[in-house]
Amino acid sequence: MEGPWRIRFASSVVLAGCMCFVGCSGPPSGSGGAGTPAAVAYVWGFNAGNGAPQTILKYAVGSAESSDPVSTLQLPSQYTGLGLTTDSSNQLYVGVTNAASDSQVLVYAGGTSGTTAPTRVIDVVNAPQCLFVDVAGKLYVGSSYGALQNTVISVYTPDAAGQAVPLRTVQSPTNRQIVDIVADSSGTIYVAGSPQYDSGNIPYGFVDVYSADAADSAEPVRSISFSVFIDGVAVDGDGNVFVSVEGSLSTGVSQAASVAVEEFAPDANGYATAVRIIKLPEQAVPTGESGSGGVGGGLVRFDGAGNIFTPEITGMEGSFNYVLYKIAPATSNPAPVAQINPELGYDFIFALN
């Protein structure tokens, strides 16, 4: 399988895809109706390997003291999970490669659990590493592929199923490794990523912005550059851009987590200055853990009420802290709302309902 598999922890966690969520005019929407706060979060569970089915864990968003999922959803055997997202009807979209290594998007009804089959299956060309559903119900599928690592975004109709033909496809310049995608209500696409190959003196993170009519090999209209790794992007109803940023590249030693959400003006370009920085509380790396992979951030998402959600993860090799934070609108005060049970495994990818 080709794509951005940036290994972040030495044991069970890789960044294998992404989920996307964005606002429209008024409060951000996409997981429930406008004005509706998120009630649950979906997170990838641990994959035991050897063909064992992967599991999606459903957590209540409320008290960080609770670490047990309220339900689980199991993929068919031999399937590998990638991106996750939800839509305004609370349907869950799951990017996978199936037992035959075909790339697909599985669509599940809201509230599905256990081994229930998806309501429809969309066959896509490239591994669906990033998924996003806009306010009109169109599905955006993001992938990286090829020896030169081009990023490809394909847009599908709301009722796409089977061998569906994309409405449009946008392909990036080379040396682009996808991390996240969103689109605003006009169809402007925001692609977060990092270079596949470090040729020196290049941004370690970027957000490429494509116009609403971009197709084929259209160039980005602008690109926000970062000197550190980034983990996710979201856009509010006013066009402000929110990016999950890691505080350092690599130290090689145990360290406290340094993760923040940075807000940029709608016209930000190049190495722009953030208009607001929301720092997450620092977590100590668990005892005995070390290495540059022992700290990281995750995706940044809005719920229907305009709250921002983003995780902070520290540790590796089975010992870690994973806390999901909520930041209320117009504030910079992260509050813990969920803590993932280490025994069940976790990933950087989550979706809200």
Identify which of 220, 211, 145 has the alpha carbon closest to the alpha carbon of residue 177.
145
User: What percentage of residues in the chain have a pLDDT greater than 90?
Assistant: 37
| pLDDT band per the 50, 70, 90 thresholds, residue 8 | very low
pTM: 0.84
What's the confidence (pLDDT) of residue 346? 56
Nearest 5°: the CA angle 197, 203, 205 is 90
Question: Is the separation of the CB atoms in 169 and 216 below 8 Å?
Answer: yes
What's the confidence (pLDDT) of residue 34? 54
Whether residue 104 is predicted with pLDDT greater than 80 in this model: the reply is yes
Whether residue 265 is predicted with pLDDT greater than 80 in this model: the reply is yes
Whether residue 27 is predicted with pLDDT greater than 50 in this model: the reply is no
What's the confidence (pLDDT) of residue 257? 45
* 33-37, 56-60, 168-172: segment of lowest average pLDDT: 33-37
* Domains of the chain as residue ranges with CATH: 6-352 (2.130.10.10)
Integer Cα distance of 138 and 189 in angstroms: 12
Q: How many CB atoms neighbour CB 147 within 10 A?
A: 8
Whether residue 10 is predicted with pLDDT greater than 70 in this model: the reply is no
Question: pLDDT tens for residues 268-305?
Answer: 999 999 999 999 887 655 555 444 344 678 889 898 88
Which tokens belong to 315?
């540790």
What's the confidence (pLDDT) of residue 197? 61
What's the confidence (pLDDT) of residue 192? 93
Q: DSSP letters of 168-217?
A: EEEEPPSS-EEEEEEE-TT--EEEEEE-SS--SS--SEEEEEE-TT--BT
What's the confidence (pLDDT) of residue 35? 62
Integer Cα distance of 67 and 352 in angstroms: 17
Within 13 Å and on the Cβ side, how many CA atoms surround 160?
24
Which tokens belong to 276?
């607001």
